[in-house]
Amino acid sequence: MVRKKGSLILCGAFLFVAWNALLLLFLWGRPPIGRLGEVGGAEPGGGKEWGVVAGKGGGADLAGEVIRLAEEVESELETQKHLLKQIQSHRSLWERRKEMGKREAEIAKEKKKNEEEAEIKRPQQSPQPPPKKTAIDNADQSNGKNAQDPIASPLPDSKDKEQTINNEKLPTTAAPVQVVIPILVIACDRVTVKRSLDKLIQYRPSAELYPIIVSQDCGHAETAQVIGSYGSQVTHLRQPDISDIRVRPEHRKFQGYYKIARHYRWALNQVFNQLSYSTVVIVEDDLEVAPDFFEYFRALYPILSSDPTLWCVSAWNDNGRDGLVDPGKPGLLYRTDFFPGLGWMLLRELWEELEPKWPAAFWDDWMRQPDQRRDRSCIRPEISRTITFGRKGVSLGQFFDQYLRYIKLNTEFVPFTKLDLSYLVRERYNENFEREVYGAPIVKVEELQQRGGLVGEGPFRVEYSSRDSFKVLARNLGVMDDLKSGVPRAGYRGVVSFLSRGRRIYLAPPAGWTHYDTSWS
């Protein structure tokens, strides 16, 4: 295989050199072309032969022709050089995919061998009559338990679990094949991408299950050098189109947003269409991840895959500032109607839905529009599993100094794959949500801000009735007050949950809420 690869590389190099040599000979031997409006050109009807014109000061024309020829050769060489770089950047991808294919084939072969050995060792037994129902079986039937109930039964787990019958432990069957969850790092011209990659590699439990793909836009050489220093630990893709985008005159200052949207589209097409992954977690080059970042997404993948009312899982809490979150509940998760981004997982099926209508710019706000969200929700944590350290960017530090720099990053590892997360299923979640929020007593902001003004540990509810009242209350309570398509940040059914002076507070609309008002944006 190595000899075959070497032969292919030599053939490719020979063809590359031969092609450029032929191109050079062709361009050198081609007769010069007269410019529009000049007499004596080489085109038919030029009036005079080229040699005659050269006699009348044609030396300058000849020098110009040589310069033009050199420029054409240089341009063609640059094109060929760019193509070689693209081939080189994808070579590591092809090798990694081939290695993964071999590994999967070996695992399947070993599994088949173990099953055959187990079949040979299994003793032959005569047919037995059906067992009589025990008291436990009768009790299960009388209680109406159903193993197929998606809420009563635990959600699928990525790790083996022990089953017990009559207090006796029974071994489980062979572990199911775990899905590969690639991490796509969107990069441009930040050499501080090293901070992001260092943490991802440090906390990554398996390079096979969590391949890291860095997609770079901008063509920034120093950033490319940093990414390349990781070698085979990451796959480095380069966005081929880094040209400016034609926009309306009033949108010239938003050129960066147009390029980001173009880059996202290209990178996601690479992950799903070229590399054929079924899911992906997207982070950006200014995000640092928590120790249980990979555990978090691994545990929530089955829920995202099975619940059509969800369309993403996010590692981010927009109101995750220290003092607004409960440090004693790092494993608490929520449903939210607001698309958080900043470290989020989506499935291939969602990309197939969004890609044909992907916007030219402002992709994240576009995701928050009703036509895209379609009443679907995301999962978010109480304490963020990412923080951003990139103050400077296309948004020019919007919200960074006021909110983002204070976001608390989780430091305690939570074994999410061993927890029962079925409470996140919409029907069960909504039932508990309504009871918890609208069963809480209504209080005024002044009571929250006065020491000793409230009795009890909460939760408490602060009610708003209009866009303006929401913004005033949010500012007074220290949570983000902006709305996108009428949806508050981190909100679910109009409700924003956070801590204030150690008490759980729900900033909520009146009972009976039915829909968001897009005019509130």
The residues that are catalytic are 364
Q: Report the distance separating Cα 245 and Cα 228, nearest Å.
A: 28
Q: Is the Cβ–Cβ distance between 351 and 252 less than 8 Å?
A: no
Q: Report the distance separating Cα 48 and Cα 6, nearest Å.
A: 55
Q: For residue 5, give every residue at least 6 positions away whose Cβ sits within 8 Å of its Cβ, in sequence order, or none.
A: none
Q: Is 143 helix (H, G, I), strand (E, B) or coil?
A: coil
Hey, what amino acid is at 397?
G
Q: Report the distance separating Cα 267 and Cα 184, nearest Å.
A: 8
Q: For residue 278, give every residue at least 6 positions away whose Cβ sits within 8 Å of its Cβ, in sequence order, or none.
A: 179, 180, 347, 348
Q: For residue 30, give every residue at least 6 positions away whose Cβ sits within 8 Å of its Cβ, in sequence order, or none.
A: none
Helices (H) and strands (E) in the chain, counts: 14, 17
Q: For residue 214, give every residue at least 6 positions away whose Cβ sits within 8 Å of its Cβ, in sequence order, or none.
A: 185, 187, 193, 197, 227, 234, 235, 236, 237
Q: Could you give the C-alpha distances from 375 to 309, 322, 423, 483, in angstroms and in order? A: 7, 30, 19, 16
Q: Report the distance separating Cα 396 and Cα 399, nearest Å.
A: 9
Q: Is 186 helix (H, G, I), strand (E, B) or coil?
A: strand
Q: Report the distance separating Cα 157 and Cα 176, nearest Å.
A: 10
Output the six-digit token pair for 95.
């090798």
Q: Is the Cβ–Cβ distance between 317 and 326 less than 8 Å?
A: no
Q: Is the Cβ–Cβ distance between 287 and 386 less than 8 Å?
A: yes
Q: Report the distance separating Cα 137 and Cα 132, nearest Å.
A: 9
If we measure between CA atoms, which residue out of 281, 302, 313 comes closest to residue 204? 281
